[in-house]
Chains A and B, each alone.
Chain A
Amino acid sequence: MQGFFSVYSPSNFVIVDSYWTETCICGLYGYFVASQLARSAHGVSIVRLQTASCYEEHLAFREEVCHLLQTLLLSLGFGLITASVLAIAAVGITLQFGVTNYLNLAYGDLLTFGVYVAFVANQRFGLSIWLGLLAAILLTSLLAWLINLLVLRPFTDRGTSRVMMLVVTVGVSLILQNVLLALFGEQFQKYAVDTGTPLHLGPFLFTPLQLGILGLAVGTMLAIHLLLRSTRLGKAMRAVSDSPELARISGINTRQIVNVAWLIAGGLAGLSGVVLALNVVTFTPTLGFGFIFVIFAAMVLGGIGSPYGAMLGALVVGIATEVSAIFLPSEYKTAIALVILILVLLLRPQGIFALRRYT
């Protein structure tokens, strides 16, 4: 309470000097004491005025705190949506990495491909965005399968090291991104879609579209969970991801499993690309390449190759990037995800949530 309250009374006025935070806590008490003191001196009106301003300060502070909390809750809501997008993408790339065991830098551009498939369906052919989404899933799935078949498999068959595979996927990424750039140009595009009126759900504020994204993500996660746990295919995928040699000895057709993994990863890339574009509203052909490192951050945080870890990692990274926008300019959102990526790789490369290593 030191310095909280000092009264200076030379002749007929009183100056009430208080630290504003403490005034907030003890506003009423202060008002009481001040009025007592003021009555004894001769400056009643001034003291009233001063304490009144203190009280206003207190109100302003409370408002500020409320505002901050509100912003925090709102960004948490945004973070949840970003996490949904991220979770779909991260699970896709994790499935692919688990089975093929090399990092794929072209994955972000598969997302962009899906974005532009839906864009063409939506804007050029006038279809609904949900039909566009379906087309994006199918065509991106097909493209991923083709890329593996025509470009990547010749390398893996020759036993190219995973370092050189990374260079090859860089090449694929450059080609995909720039073909889209040549076709659609650098200008920002958007979908023709009705976001609907925002709904208050508890402290959060969601548009129906965002709720749709959330629902899609939850549905996808459940589907992946069922696929991995309850089907022969999922079991085989987990087996290949654990050890390709042992899986092959056990009679699993690993080549087929790799193909299926690319199909699923591509489908998830198309899906997450379109919902990402819906979430950020405007997009260019570099959307996916900027997002790939956010996906990597989620994947690495959850433990590379572990789909369940990737879901948790997506949640953390999604919320962290959105909440960071309160304190930093929003241009640094991606940079926050990159910092998370670097820190996790340096300090805990097996991931925060990994129970055991998959790599």
Chain B
Amino acid sequence: MPPFFFYLLTLATFAVIYGVLVIGLNIHWGYTGILDFMYIAFVAVGGYVTAQLGLPPAQPAFGETYMLGFNWSFFPALLGGGLAAVLLALVVGLLSLHRLRSDYFSIVTVAISLILWTVAGNATPLVNGWDGITGVPQPLADVLNLDPNGYGLFYLGLCSVILILVYLFAQRLYSSPFGRALRSVREDEMVAQGLGKNVFTLRLRAFVIGAFIAGIGGGLLVTYVDAFNPSAWTSPETFFLWAALLLGGSANNRGAMLGALLVPVLFAEATRFLPNFYSPEFVNASRYIVVGILLILVVRFRPQGLIAERKLRVPKSKLLPLVASTASPESTAHLAQPGAVSFLPPEHNSSESKEAHHGE
């Protein structure tokens, strides 16, 4: 098959895997408004654990050391990767989600991500240090016995099935009562709390669910690229995914997938195949410069993203009266305005409502 086909196949596979990743981030930020800057760490944990569960035990004689090495088959290993990310999310969430204002929370998440990165690189027995893990077993490769292109197609199909499952799950989550509660937390947590919602539990659950999807996506990514080391998950990678989500459209899964196609794939992966014409770092650096400009421009000119979140329209007849009927109609008239209850992305919030409960 022609090389161009192989190139397209690579791009398509990356697009599908990044689609899974951005949908997970969407559950954090788009659904719930959690400012998660350690998302790439969940991806990395999922990837490392998936790879290590599938690999045979480490052979220090060949200069490789890692913890697990259980020879598991692909799907249990992938599940294990997702659960490992869940574990990390639980620890981080239980420690910090209910205490911190969201901008301080984001600083804590970057800090945790950097600590994990330092440990992963320097503590060689854990995940083979800076050299990283290679030779991740390819699922069903021995059963199918396909040539590289055929196997690439098969893997693209596998990832697509998982993307569809994740997408359906995320859509179901969005329209469920639980999803509505999440969005109410995003819009105004004081109101959510006033209506009897446990804001902390809702946030924690969303954080864990997003992390699980990140772990699954990480497992798919690491299995596909076959080699993974700390230079693949520096913290700017998180902002790649953020740029994808913000450009595509927060809180809209189709937007998230579009962003995953546009930002990491077209901007980033495509430039990998371009020649270096200025300095060895030029192409790599220019990718990040473009992402930086994109972040600024999107927040400035199209904060809702390319595909905006649908506004939830509630017919007048279904609106519940907000105030008991004993109050005078004049005083409640402005409260029971009919028409659109808008669920705009969180950046439309006034900053006061965001900072109300934190850091006392």
Q: What is the chain A residue whose CB lies nearest that of B96?
A: A346
Segment from A48-56, A154-162, A223-231, A238-246 that makes contact with B: A154-162
Q: Is the CB of A182 within 8 A of B286?
A: yes
**Chain B residues with CB below 8 A from A335, complex form:** 114-115, 118-119
Q: Are A103 and B107 in touch, CB under 8 angstroms? A: yes
Give Cα A151–Cα B104 distance, bound, in whole angstroms.
22
Does B325 lie at the interface of the complex (its beta carbon under 8 Å from any beta carbon of A)?
no
Are A102's CB and B103's CB within 8 A? yes
Chain A residue nearest to B355 (CB atoms) is A162
- CB within 8 Å for A338 and B115 given contacts A102-B103, A160-B299, A161-B350: yes
CB distance from B10 to the nearest CB of A (A): 24
Complex CA gap A109/B102 in Å reads: 23
**Interface residue from A167, A293, A350 paired with B246 (Cβ < 8 Å):** A167
**Complex Cα–Cα for A161 and B102 (A):** 11
Closest B residue to A183 using CB positions: B279
Pairwise interchain contact A174-B236, C-beta atoms closer than 8 A: yes
Query: How long is the Cα–Cα vector from A222 to B353 in the complex, in angstroms?
Result: 38
Task: Please tell me if the beta carbons of A332 and B122 are within 8 angstroms of each other in the complex.
Answer: yes
Are A338 and B111 in contact, CB atoms less than 8 angstroms apart? yes
- Closest B residue to A102 by beta carbon equals B103
Instruction: Check: B202 CB closer than 8 A to any chain A CB.
Output: no
Interchain CA distance A346-B94 in the complex, whole Å: 11
Inter-subunit contact B239/A331 (CB<8 Å): no
User: Is B262 an interface position by the 8 A CB rule?
Assistant: no
Task: Give the residue of B281, B292, B347, B354 whose beta carbon is less than 8 angstroms from that of A185.
Answer: B281
B33 to chain A, nearest CB (A): 8
Contact mask for chain B residues 76-103; partner A; CB cutoff 8 A; 1 contact, 0 none: 0000000000000000000110011111
- Complex alpha-carbon distance, A177 and B291, angstroms: 12
Cβ-closest chain A residue relative to B121: A331
Indicate whether A170 sits within 8 Å of B239 (C-beta atoms), given known contacts A163-B346, A338-B111, A349-B359.
yes
On whether the beta carbons of A349 and B292 are closer than 8 Å, the reply is no
B171 contacts the other chain (Cβ, under 8 Å)? no
Cβ of A168 under 8 Å from chain B? yes
Asked if B293 lies at the interface with its beta carbon under 8 angstroms from chain A, I say yes
* Residues B299 and A164 in contact, CB atoms below 8 Å apart: yes
Residues of B in contact (CB 8 Å), total 53
Q: Chain B CB within 10 Å — which of A174, A334, A346 has the most?
A: A174
- Interface of A, secondary structure class, is helix
CB 8 Å contact bits of A78-110 with B (1 = contact, 0 = none): 000000000000000000000000110000000
Best-buried of B100, B281, B284, B291 by chain A (most CB within 10 Å): B281
What A residues does B355 contact at CB under 8 A? Answer: 162
- Note all chain A residues with C-beta closer than 8 A to B284: 181
Interface string of B106-117 (1 = CB under 8 A from A): 111011101100
Residue in A closest to B349 when the chains form the complex, CB atoms: A161
A160 to B282, CA, bound (A): 32
Q: With the chains together, A161 CA to B351 CA distance in Å?
A: 5
* CB–CB B292/A174 < 8 A: yes
Contact (Cβ within 8 A) A182 B278: yes
The contact of A163 among B103, B122, B236, B242, by CB within 8 Å, is B103
B270: which A residues are within 8 A, CB to CB? none
CB pair A342 B111 closer than 8 Å: yes
Is A128 part of the binding interface, using a Cβ–Cβ cutoff of 8 Å? no
Q: A163-B35, A163-B102, A164-B303 are in contact. List 8 more A-B contacts (CB 8 A).
A: A160-B299, A161-B350, A168-B300, A174-B295, A175-B296, A182-B282, A185-B280, A341-B107
Give chain B's interface residues, CB within 8 Å of chain A.
35, 95-96, 99-104, 106-108, 110-112, 114-115, 118-119, 121-122, 236, 239, 242, 246, 278-282, 284-286, 288-289, 291-296, 299-300, 303, 346-347, 349-351, 354-355, 358-359
6 contacts between A and B (CB under 8 A): A161-B354, A162-B355, A167-B295, A168-B296, A182-B285, A293-B110
Which 4 pairs between the two chains have the least Cβ-Cβ distance?
A174-B292, A171-B295, A175-B292, A178-B285
